[in-house]
Amino acid sequence: MFEKFFDNIISQNYSFGDYEYEKYNCELAELCKNMKNADVRGMMDFWERKAKEDYFELSHPIYNHITLRGVKSFKGNNSILNIVFMCDKNMGFPLFLLQFSDCFNSLFFQDNNHQCKALRLDGWRGDYRNHFAIFRAALLARKNEDFSYRDIKFGFTLSNCRPYHFFNFSLLYFENLDIANKKVANEKLIFFKTDKITQSLASEKEDLVYLQPYVRENAILPFTAYSKALSKDFYYSIVKQTQNSHRANISGGGGQKLKRR
């Protein structure tokens, strides 16, 4: 069943539409409502609630009685795309979650008739074709990898090739989330490692499923006072940490000395 799902995605044999979250009673439906209404606190509550659990699990967005677990994650090549594969114990309901700016931007799943469908989760009305092409290429490169259901804990990834997305969609909210018990992937594309990140870095040997702790306000709506307050404190903290790091380098001899001419 998974093989057919895999092949349908690679061959672009899928339909694309909006997720009608109003029809369902599950966490993902509630999260879509929060994203549409720019409910920043609601989105942050979602990540904090999930961080208390060892495994990343969600009710299936369509078949709400089915519990799915995140068992594998990977990146789109040279892109902002983070991909999470989820499935049930019997591998009967495979699903991919795609993240590139919002908590979750879209998903791919297989319905009861074994038809592959892609659904838009966010309010972005842009062109998804490039993101989907990157997803298909990344998936094809992992054709021979194991996607089986297993017990695997999850952590967070902050790696991002775009500074704006990194600081405003990831780091701003990560620094304000109560998720101290979760590991952060030790990756190259972290533009600024705060004290919180440094203390949470996973070792290279740790096998985890990684999710981007994205929180983004709907681009159509103005920034809320809540996010503005978070931003002010956040950037003040970044400046202070940069100053402290600079002083430590100087006092410890880590700074580069200039040669007199």
Closest among 29, 13, 103, 105 to 62, alpha carbons compared = 29
Contacts of 22 (CB under 8 A, 6+ apart): 29, 33
Ordered by start, the domain boundaries in the chain are 2-249
Angle of CA points 128, 132, 133, to nearest 5°: 120
Helix residue spans in 37-180 (DSSP H): 40-51, 129-140, 163-165, 172-174
Q: For each successive 10 residues of the chain (261 residues), what is the average pLDDT?
A: 92 96 97 90 94 97 98 91 96 95 93 94 81 96 95 93 81 85 88 88 90 72 56 63 58 48 41
Entry pTM: 0.85
What's the pLDDT at 238?
Answer: 62
